[in-house]
Amino acid sequence: MESGNNKLGLISAAWDLFTQKGYENTTVKDILDRMKLAKGTFYHYFASKESILNDVTEYVLTKQLSAYQEKLRDEDVGAMGRLYLLFDHLKTWKLNNTIFMRTLLRTVYSEKNLKLRHHLFDKMVTILSPLLADIFEQGVREGVFRIEHPLETAQLVLHMGFTVGSMVAREILAFMDNPGDSPQAERILRLSDCYFDSMEKIIGVDSGALDRASLADLFTIIGVGQQSQAPAPVT
């Protein structure tokens, strides 16, 4: 492989291995062996295995949003339809990549990875906020959303999601260790409901306009009581 493609190749190999073996069970040597590259090549691009997880997450998110935009080109949908489609696309991807989702939860929300967590979130806001702002601007033109500042509102919604997501992640990790804790599962769904309730108020739509998470989806994503699905390819 040419040197210009080595970084992307390492990211792609890491993605495959993280989803197949899990993050903890994948070594830097595994990634290099997959690519048939020398150790120095890895550390030329990445400081550590945690560092490549950052790039893997950005790579996957960018690819998935590209697929979302491709779907929109084939459909004449309004702003609310685009918002539904975005949430559904992200949810479906999570359901199809449960191993990676659990890897991400356990790694990113480890106490030692606070810096990594904030860095990943900053990247996600950078990638997602223009797309969300575009949906909000369209909704204002259509009279669907009541928003004064679409970009800032998009950033606020994402920052709020990061805070709620951190709370939910702690509950999910505890629930994964004790899957019989029904009240904890219900608390996770209440936190999700609170987020969507708040988002509906912020963008000015009726209560219940946005889809909520289901307990069945939660169980599938965290792998309680069933086998994880094979990872969806990122091509």
DSSP 172-194: HHHHHHSTT-HHHHHHHHHHHHH
Query: Is 14 inside any structural domain?
Result: no
**CATH number for position 104:** 1.10.357
pTM value is: 0.74
Tens digits of per-residue pLDDT, 86-105?
Answer: 888 888 887 887 777 777 78
* Helix-strand-coil split of the chain, %, nearest 5: 75, 0, 25
Query: Is 5 inside any structural domain?
Result: no
Q: Quick check: 7 pLDDT over 50? A: yes
Confidence of residue 188 (pLDDT cuts 50, 70, 90): confident
Q: Among candidates 144, 127, 154, 157, which has minimal Cα distance to 58?
A: 127
Q: What number is the average pLDDT over the span 192-219?
A: 85
Q: What number is the average pLDDT over the span 219-234?
A: 50
Domain that holds residue 167: 77-222
Query: Is 160 inside any structural domain?
Result: yes
Confidence of residue 229 (pLDDT cuts 50, 70, 90): very low
Distance CA 101, CA 172 (A): 11
Query: Is 199 inside any structural domain?
Result: yes
Copy the structure tokens of residue 134.
């575009």
- Looking at residue 126, its pLDDT comes to 87
Q: Quick check: 197 pLDDT over 70? A: yes
Query: Is 39 inside any structural domain?
Result: no
